[in-house]
Amino acid sequence: MGPVLLDLTVERMRESAVPRSYRYIDVRPIAGALGAEIHGVDIARPLGDDVVAEIRQAFLDYLVIFFSDQQLTAQAQLAFAARFGEPMAYPQLKGLPECPLITPVIKREHERVNFGGVWHSDTAYLERPPMASMLYAIEIPPYGGDTLFANQYLAYESLSEGLRDVLSGLIGINASTKADASRTREERMRDEGAELKALVAEHPVVLTHPETGRKALYVNVGHTTQFKGWTERESRSLLDHLFAHQVSPEFTCRFRWERRSLAFWDNRCTQHNPVNDYHGFKRVMHRVTLAGDIPR
């Protein structure tokens, strides 16, 4: 990124930072681009509408929010998630027997590849990708296993006007079978005896967030294979440029997990990447996915 675009990126980060006062929760940003810790609330207990509204506002303001030291059963996590949207099954994978809408995300001690271990937006190969995901830490390694998040509003806004014009109206083709992202899902499905199916969906390369009205870059290295009407070879150079750009360090934050912490991110304007640096240790997370709309 050249110095002029870098200056524009910094300026847009300042413009997009919305200082806001909250009455019921304590919101503490963790990075300049996105991410905030939420304190002063026990999400295992029933929450008033005013508290839920403030959490929702922090979610929209900071794109990903984090809660620490929360004592959540599977049912309590699902009940909390349901205050913000409609929980949905993760495609092609089984949930917990006692709570099917919660998907266990596990890396075992002997495994070398982690689940979804590339930059991606969740299940972009669905016609209606999820609007958000919640991940709760059950068992974590003694070190490593952080998750990175990237702000896709800033990724779009920092592009040159000329490139934004090129991307306007382009459609991305997203597939569940792109090798880097599909490996661990396919391994889990084979272990469970499930049938492997290829899922493909077409979405705008630039979407407009249905709640904030801001535009976000909506391609990802985990699922996007090409532009509609272009060959994969023709698409490759531009996609590679976008894949590298959209996870530039100045667009990111990094979350260090602790046991009983929870992350809640907006799938429409972020990407995430679980860092695979804890070989020999087990990591167990419980995930809830919230249904979304067709990207526009």
Active-site residue 296, yes or no?
Answer: no
Active-site residue 272, yes or no?
Answer: yes
Question: Which of 181, 220, 186, 179 has the alpha carbon at shortest distance from 203?
Answer: 220
Confidence of residue 199 (pLDDT cuts 50, 70, 90): very high
Strands 103-107 and 283-290: antiparallel
Catalytic residue among 120, 185, 223, 268: 120
CA distance 265 to 270: 7
pLDDT at site 192: 53
Q: Where are the domains of the chain?
A: 3-289
Active-site residue 256, yes or no?
Answer: no
**Which DSSP symbol is given to 50?**
H
Catalytic residue among 203, 209, 283, 287: 287
CATH superfamily of this structure's domain 3-289:
Clavaminate synthase-like (3.60.130.10)
Catalytic residue among 223, 268, 272, 286: 272
Tell me the pLDDT tens digit for each residue of 73-95: 999 999 999 999 999 999 878 99
Confidence of residue 123 (pLDDT cuts 50, 70, 90): very high
pLDDT at site 92: 78
Tell me the pLDDT tens digit for each residue of 227-245: 999 999 999 999 999 999 9
SS3 readout for 170-203 = CEEEEECCCHHHHHHHHHHHHHHCCCCCCCEEEE
Tell me the pLDDT tens digit for each residue of 30-76: 999 999 999 999 999 999 999 999 999 999 999 999 999 999 999 99
Residue recorded with tokens 């991940």: 135
Across the chain, mean pLDDT equals 92
3-state secondary structure (DSSP) of residue 82: helix
Catalytic residue among 61, 122, 203, 268: 122
Active-site residue 120, yes or no?
Answer: yes
pTM for the full model?
Answer: 0.91
